[in-house]
Chains A and B, each alone.
Chain A
Amino acid sequence: MLERLIRLWQLRAAVLRWLRRGWHLFVDRVVEPVMECAIRICGWSAILFIFAILFFVLWIAAPMLFGGLDLVEFFTSENWRPTSAVRPQFGILALLLGTLSVTALAMLLAVPLGLGAAVYVSEFSSGKLKETLKVLIELLAAIPSVVWGFVGMMVMGPIIIHFTGAPVGVNLLNGGVILALMSVPIIVSVGEDALKAVPDSYREAALSLGAGRWEMVYRVLFPAAKNGLLAAVLLGVGRAIGETMAVLMATGHAIQIPHSLLDPIRTLTATIAAELGETVEGDAHYRVLFVIGLVLFAVTFVVNLAADLVVKGIRSERTS
């Protein structure tokens, strides 16, 4: 009896050992390769998605892009009459200029302020103040674009009407200011990183030669960090071009080439957001909106690529 019990116990131990060895073998031979494979596939997912975005937008835009759409008219005509019963016209010049003007205005405001704030945070403030400002700017970046648009409509609009006497408060100026505030955080954070990347020895050398803080910033840091600062500006531009909800709500939605700061305008992004819901799936108007999406994709791709190349430029300079 006892012998049988002992044998049973030994059998149990043997089975357990065998199971454990099997488990280890399973982990080594199956789980690990599967995990590594998954990791590799996921690693390439970013490339996959970039191409997927291009592919699927092109997939819907293609019938219009390669037939039916007069590309010369598309880029040079300012007549955007997609729903006209007689002859629909798809000219995005006015929309393109709308995007350009509101982006330019936003950058005019955001670049000096953003770079100034980056310099202040990086060079002139320290300790608690620095941490607080960085957190505040990070929080500024997190505010949803639809809330910015709402602020543009409900707060900025009446202020603009009050001070300028413009007939409508939602216009180029409003959109520009809102976009500037939205793209400032990215300019500040990337600009600050660029300034932080300048070696401290540069600062020490400048200060020991008798330069003041301001002279150091202007004569030493700006030239040394110019690529990073340029990248910051480019990323800000990219964000401003691609912004949708805020400009949809704050720029007034009138298709025209702007002549003054107080003209309502409409941008490429806002056009897609406003009209895609009202079109019939698969008709010309619907597909043209996807063509506009392709244009936007191309523009932001180029801007981001430029920013990346500029940053790469610094890195190779540093190492050489």
Chain B
Amino acid sequence: MSGPPEQRTAAACSLLPGELDLQEGQAVPLAPRDIFTASSLERWKKVKETIAKLVFMAMTMALVLPVLCVFGYLVVKAWPVLSVSFLLENPREKMTAGGIWAPLVGTFSLVFLSLVVCAPVGILAGIYLNEYARDNWMTRIINLAVMNLAGVPSIVHALFGVGAFVLFAGMGRSLLAASCTLAVMSLPVIITATREALNAVPRAFREACWNMGATRWQTIRTIVLPNSISGMLTGVIFEVARAAGETAPILFTGAVFFTPVPDHGWSSFFPYRLGDRCMALSMHLFTLATQVRDVPEETLYGTAVVLFGLVLAVNSLSIGLRAYLRSRKKW
């Protein structure tokens, strides 16, 4: 706004309702109430704000609350059957009675084996992508491959497992084949988590180490890995949760409806050998829900609750660890 002061006053006054005939130097007859009260436009804006906020909140709650209710309902329905003996007993009488020990142990062995297979490869791949790879087309293709590997449907992974491990590698339908399939499936998760953990280590740390005359690998071993190992751990734990819940990839590569295993004594802890077919908790839930008749409802709900309770517990562990690490991070 430029111009002599009288014109400015007049311009300001023209905004006011009603006729005003102001002389130079005369005060504008406006009470503080008129200035500091919201105009109707502003009030409408406020209302709009509130509405928008409420709508977005409702959308979020519409996602979160029903899910919480549903899972609360599952727990309530499963409550009568949840006990230590439910966990430690084998399924009996065509799976209509007894517990879930065999599938539980099967899931543990599957997840452990898949971890043994994919954690080294995934972590090394993450190290490559973050520490070695330059920003060229090759790296871009690798990134694309990682992203696409994560997006491949789980049933296609199952088909791959059947083709590659069961038939081509001659493993047959076995614990080993199923674990390898799971491992390929969880590879991108580990790679991404490792990259993020490595990426969080400041570049200055590496530069300081290089300046001391260390080679690339020495830097990684002595500086980068110790500072990022815990971040990788969260990624690995996350992978464990994901692998434990998967059903489709193990459906045709090594999981079976039922296989008897000892449920007491030492041998009950390692009942499966690498070549054996095994039961798995996710598969067990699927079987109970769709293939077996006359399963008591509590057993069904109990199996579901143990499965998602396991997955959520492992995941919470990962989230808690991440929060703890973030709180004590030194840089």
Contacts and interface: CB of A to CB of B under 8 A. Distances in A.
B149 A50 contact: yes
Interface string B156-200: 111110111001100000000000000010011001000000000
Interface in B47-98: 48-49, 51-53, 55-57, 59-60, 62-64, 67-68, 70-71, 73-74
Contacts of A43: 124-125, 127-129, 132-133, 142
A151 B70 contact: yes
A184 interface: yes
B282 interface: yes
A44 B304 contact: no
Interface stretch (A13-21, A69-77, A78-86, A289-297): A289-297
A154 interface: yes
B56 A119 contact: yes
B294 to A, nearest CB: 15
A305 B283 CA distance: 31
Interface stretch (B27-35, B271-279, B311-319): B311-319
B13 interface: no
A140 B62 CA distance: 13
Contact of B307 (A117, A138, A144, A153): A144
A56 B162 CA distance: 9
B200 to A, nearest CB: 16
Given A38-B124, A245-B248, A212 B70 contact: no
Contacts of B206: none
B153 A143 contact: no
Sort chain B's interface into a size bin: 35 or more
B104 interface: no
Contact of B245 (A56, A143, A269, A307): A143
A146 B142 contact: no
A269 B155 CA distance: 7
B307 A57 contact: no
Nearest to B221: A35
A45 interface: yes
A273 B49 contact: no
Interface string A24-53: 000000001001101110111111011011
B147 interface: yes
A214 interface: yes
A53 B188 contact: no
Interface string A211-255: 011100100000000000000000100110111110001000000
Contacts of A241: 153
Interface stretch (B2-10, B262-270, B285-293): B285-293
Interface string A105-149: 000000011101101110110000000010111111011111101
